Amino acid sequence: MASTDINPFISSLTSQADTIRFEDTMAVIDGHYDFTSSAFKNGDQLNEAGQNSGSCKVFAFGQTHQLTVQQTLAMFGQHYRDVVATPQGTDHQNIRQFMQHGWDGILFSQQALKAK
């Protein structure tokens, strides 16, 4: 498992993006933040509170740390790599919507992460 320290993790999103695992992303976020389920809009995708919590955590962390679209997508690990490998697919809609709309498409109903 990768380090759960925030700064090395963020650095790895650029330097080792192809080795990031979604499980490691969740470990970093869960290790440093308390999560409150939040509804959020991602482009054309509306996610109710409690739905797609992993995506909610990734986007909230990305916003909090002012990550680029590419760094944020890297946090999805294999899920993002699967989407890139199947550009015509319909799975992983939050990733696909974020690839299209970027940060302009993200809107939370409330703050999802609070530092521990």
Q: Residue 11 — very low, low, confident or very high, per pLDDT cuts 50/70/90? A: very high
List CB contacts of 45: < 8 A, sequence separation 6 or more: 93, 94, 97
**Could you report the per-residue pLDDT of 65-98, keeping only the tens digit for each?**
999 999 999 999 999 999 999 999 999 999 999 9
pTM: 0.95
What gap in Å lies between CA 116 and CA 113, rounded to an integer? 9
Counting every residue written for the chain, the total comes to 116
Q: Is the dihedral of CA 46, 66, 5, 74 positive or negative?
A: positive
Determine the topology of domain 6-110 in CATH: pseudo Tubby roll (3.20.160)
Domain ranges of the chain: 6-110
pLDDT recorded at residue 85: 97
Which candidate, 73, 83, 63, places its Cα nearest to that of 20? 73
pLDDT recorded at residue 1: 44
